[in-house]
């Protein structure tokens, strides 16, 4: 099972390394923290930060090589402290990646 997860990641890594990166102010290369153990990323945000599941949906994420990847997206929040996390899960492998984490979560008013 580990080989099924690591082989595509190795391929993606080699693609990224072999792809020349052009300076483009509209593109932001990101490094994501990912976890292959099922549920571990969810447990971490719930236990360490006291966040609870808030929303979920399907989304797409563009890799640095330009490839679009489908993912299940989950958002967790701590309504008392205002921390939040957004986690993407690859539906095929179950790989979980932290897309972003932040603080001061609050609803947006009408004057956005």
Residue 79 inside a domain? The answer is yes
Ranking 6-15, 23-32, 36-45 by mean pLDDT, the lowest is 6-15
Count structural domains, the chain: 1
- Kindly state the average pLDDT of the residues 45-72: 91
Residue 9 inside a domain? The answer is no
The residue ranges of DSSP E strands in 24-110, in sequence order, are: 33-35, 52-62, 68-77, 84-89, 96-102
Structure tokens at 24: 């483009």
| pLDDT above 70: residue 97 | yes
| pLDDT above 60: residue 93 | yes
Residue 4 inside a domain? The answer is no
Residue 80 inside a domain? The answer is yes
| pLDDT above 80: residue 51 | yes
Tokens 């095929």 locate to 92
| pLDDT above 80: residue 24 | no
Residue 18 inside a domain? The answer is no
Residue 24 inside a domain? The answer is no
């Amino acid at each position: 099972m580990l080989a099924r997860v690591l082989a595509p990641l190795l391929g993606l890594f080699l693609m990224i390394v072999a792809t020349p990166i052009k300076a483009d102010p509209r593109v932001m290369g990101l490094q994501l923290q990912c976890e292959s153990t099922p549920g571990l990323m969810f447990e971490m945000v719930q236990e360490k930060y006291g966040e609870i599941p808030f929303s979920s949906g399907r989304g797409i994420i563009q890799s640095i090589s330009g490839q679009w990847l489908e993912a299940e997206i989950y958002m967790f929040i701590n309504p008392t402290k205002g921390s939040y996390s957004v986690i993407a899960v690859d539906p095929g492998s179950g790989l979980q990646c932290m897309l972003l984490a932040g603080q001061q979560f609050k609803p947006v008013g009408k004057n956005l």
